[in-house]
Structure 1
């Protein structure tokens, strides 16, 4: 039996920023006004679209409000898809799930002679021109008004599921995992590098998620990003179903009826979006835009120097309450992920139990008597359809509310059923090597991919019962306490770069980012109010189970309970990046 619904959990958080949003006719009128102010009788509007944008629909809407304009598709200068496939083939690989991070730049996907000819024709256009497509900025003349049409990753995935193909591919992949792989390893990498180079000169930014585009000026975009990176905020969570999913989130958060909800990405900027609330409306943008445009203010100088413009901490939910076990799995070592996939750090993680039913358990590490060859043989036979007895090889530990299990890469693990896990990890979220999926099919009716060769290359065979009990289970250490509060370090393991601290409190408490980003979740009690002792940001309310980010630039902040009783926040930051 789960606890009653948390009515205040907000699945649609916004960030209020200065500026104005425009939509429909008002938006196109503003772009036209700007273009004519620069180009006179030869105005040029450039719509540089993120892959998976509904470009035909967008152009049709634009032309309906831009009489006299001629549309020109920059993608006419793109290489044939066969040439692009040959270029990216070694990064895409034949694997259903995994590729290698592509180092390409968007210009490599274009025929240079064809692009030069198109650029010349755009510059010489005698009348109003609308240039569109991914890479349209490559052909933009100096007088053009430049607009980026941006798209959230989660919306892209939904479009893949609905049949939208990858960029310039003639038809959708019949396997959504392959479409996602092409996006993750190639298209999104190239697209993010391309749009990052446009941020400082954009005239407009359009929300491509909406059926009717809404936009804000480039100046308001830059001011909004700067404002968001200097106050606490939440990303827009998204919830998805899975074969092992449960019902805790649906019941507690009041989500729409569904078979189950397995995941919630509550703070994964590479996947989540943010919603900027401006005068005139809301604009939804990928949260990665904030990371790419404001790395020092958001991450802190030391974290930025260590990871580049990447957000290294991930919070997400895994709901198996009334559901099933996750797949038995292992994550790659840093050395392996660098050599094999081109990532420079790996997915160390932990499971924090927000809730658990009686009998819940976590599988973690190998039994003392587990024989490597016997395990390999049993898993190979299971892959061919034979039964597999996980308990003969893997430890299981009872799991109760507020327990914290640490899972450095190389440790065999999975959450069991009837648990509500707050997963705290490093961000490379796709690199999970399934070893055993409990003899079941995915929601698409296909077996979910198992990667035994990758798994066997990464299992740390020394992670056995005694080591796991000593190093990974119940590692809570009280570090500070005072009247009405207690601070505890709960992990992570010394091999992981994230440190987590839990603070219990019944009255106001203060904290300081010390120059590095904090990610927190209110794991008990609520609501609370975050306040600035210096008035640097407006008070910010947080409710039970909500994940929130406190940017490095915030500095000192206070958490004040708005209700009686015990409250607790779990905070994560990157070790060794604090300043004095």
Structure 2
């Protein structure tokens, strides 16, 4: 195993250490307003414009706590709840029921807009009743902007990881009385309905919004420390920060989570909370889930990193990638830590045709396992064995799921020893999982919840409830021809040397032709030259303690990265170089870079 790095102080790195709180700079001169000062500034703008203050909240924001803060900051203002104009709860529930389905995990992607959840006549009536010094608050407050004159708009935004943590603690979905509902069902409602509607809505406001507030920091019992009071920035600062982020390297804020199979590698190397039993996942680059920390005068403000994808899709993704996927970040990097833990669930991901027809997603979760670190007994389960009886395997999976006897994985599934820096391709439809004592950098397409568990080794979740197994979906997607011979020929040891010059070796590391992600590994001792070539690059420093990304033309300030950190190079960057720093102690370095095949300008 790698030598552990000592504990970190308050999440920030010292030299060569993984940074859990990376930041993106606000434009020069922009300030973060805190608490009452921010609301007074927004109210002053509204008063100067002669209109209402519309405070639009992302579903999941603690609206009662927010209302209390505004009432305290603006004692002479009238506060109106826009959700009084929403359609009755039962009517909304009936409307979205086909998207939620009866399944515990999976629904169907919705195409609702927020106006579908509101009574337009009631909105108009509400707009007509607004007088001076009025705050309209709630998800949908900005719907009144077209019905009132000179309104000032505020977005109170929130990252999905924070919403999930609050739901686990008893928070409900929007206007739902479900505090004790299964967390997977709460998440499903958010993933398939609420967040899709909310993202369409807030994206339409980005060009004109007057202020943006950090909804992650709004809670009933606010800490007294100034740094923890919710921050507010102007819309111009918000737009300027996102333009800057799309022009230079940056990192999103990683999110760590425990799991039944979780390990100890991240805890020891990154310096996470030692009191936790384990950490299983790290969403190191999943912009749908992660945050951006915008830093400036007044500290930091946290916004969803997805806001950058929505606001700067061409600059971030590149024209070709944007035209193919829309404003969606298609590449995901995350960690799966089973060091001193257990096997992942035996699983399969849906084929593209299946995920489109069944769930309404337009592409699927092709993926790969890159082994950052391994124990002596590390293995990867991949593909079915030659000549197995398919019906017998399905019967044995059903028997295992019923609790009659364990599934004999060794009878049906290939097991391959795993070494550090091995890279296993896993196109959708291939049965797979990582075994215990592995530290996996998972590189995959973004639709990350579409995992059909086939066998979970007889475990229950951290909540004591058996984790969901989807044999019906899984059996329909297993590609039985992905047997030992096919896996050996197509998925194992697929490393080709692209170029070798001076101290740089560039390798293609093996994602299958069925997968749209291309990966390149660069070994170097001093530095290696790169170019985005018109598409977003996602990179992890998989070997070496510390490096920096520099611009040959000085277009951005040098950007320092540390071992195991994932970072994003926007398409707009163009040429760049990754090189050792003067503080580096490592003898050699390696980066693993991913991008969308066929999206480079040189692919024309």
Q: What is the TM-score when the length of structure 2 is the normalising length?
A: 0.94
Query: What is the 5 A alignment of 1:340-419?
Result: 340-386=358-404, 387-419=406-438
Measured in 2, the distance between the counterparts of 1:36 and 1:82 equals: 37
Query: What is the 5 A alignment of 1:90-489?
Result: 90-122=98-130, 125=131, 127-140=132-145, 141-211=148-218, 212-257=229-274, 258-386=276-404, 387-489=406-508
8 A Cα contact 2:23 2:295, kept in partner: yes
Q: 1:21: which partner in 2?
A: 32
Q: 1:89: which partner in 2?
A: 97
Which runs of 5 or more structure 2 residues have no equivalent in the other structure?
A: 7-15, 219-228
Deviations 1:389-431 (A, max 9, x none): 1010000000010000000000000000000000000000000
Q: CA deviation at 1:526?
A: 2.5
1:457 partner SS: helix
Q: CA deviation at 1:172?
A: 1.6
Measured in 1, the distance between the counterparts of 2:508 and 2:2 equals: 28
The farther-off stretch of 23-32 and 195-204 is: 23-32
Which runs of 5 or more structure 1 residues have no equivalent in the other structure?
A: none
Deviations 1:190-216 (A, max 9, x none): 000000000011000101011332111
Measured in 2, the distance between the counterparts of 1:102 and 1:221 equals: 28
Q: 1:69: which partner in 2?
A: 77
Q: CA deviation at 1:173?
A: 4.3
Q: CA deviation at 1:36?
A: 1.2
The farther-off stretch of 192-201 and 168-177 is: 168-177
8 A Cα contact 2:261 2:344, kept in partner: yes
Measured in 2, the distance between the counterparts of 1:295 and 1:360 equals: 39
Q: CA deviation at 1:220?
A: 0.8
Q: CA deviation at 1:249?
A: 0.2
1:491 partner SS: coil
The farther-off stretch of 375-384 and 404-413 is: 375-384
2:373 partner SS: strand
1:201 partner SS: coil
Measured in 1, the distance between the counterparts of 2:463 and 2:155 equals: 34
8 A Cα contact 1:370 1:394, kept in partner: no
Measured in 2, the distance between the counterparts of 1:448 and 1:250 equals: 24
2:216 partner SS: coil
Q: 2:41: which partner in 1?
A: 30
8 A Cα contact 2:160 2:288, kept in partner: yes
8 A Cα contact 1:17 1:228, kept in partner: no
Q: CA deviation at 1:170?
A: 2.0
Q: Write out the 4+ residue segments of structure 1 that deviate beyond 4 Å after TM superposition.
A: none
Q: 2:222: which partner in 1?
A: none
2:207 partner SS: helix
Is the counterpart of residue 570 in structure 1 residue 604 in structure 2? no
Q: CA deviation at 1:174?
A: 2.0
Q: CA deviation at 1:2?
A: 4.6
Q: CA deviation at 1:578?
A: 0.4
Number of residue-to-residue matches in the alignment? 574
Measured in 2, the distance between the counterparts of 1:288 and 1:463 equals: 35
Measured in 1, the distance between the counterparts of 2:39 and 2:501 equals: 58
8 A Cα contact 2:493 2:510, kept in partner: no
Deviations 1:74-107 (A, max 9, x none): 0001111111111011111010000000000001
Measured in 2, the distance between the counterparts of 1:147 and 1:71 equals: 14
Deviations 1:31-54 (A, max 9, x none): 121111111xxx421110000101
8 A Cα contact 2:546 2:580, kept in partner: yes
Q: What is the TM-score when the length of structure 1 is the normalising length?
A: 0.98
Q: CA deviation at 1:142?
A: 2.5
Measured in 1, the distance between the counterparts of 2:136 and 2:547 equals: 49
Q: What is the root-mean-square deviation in Å for CA atoms of aligned residues?
A: 1.0
Q: CA deviation at 1:24?
A: 1.3
8 A Cα contact 2:36 2:69, kept in partner: no
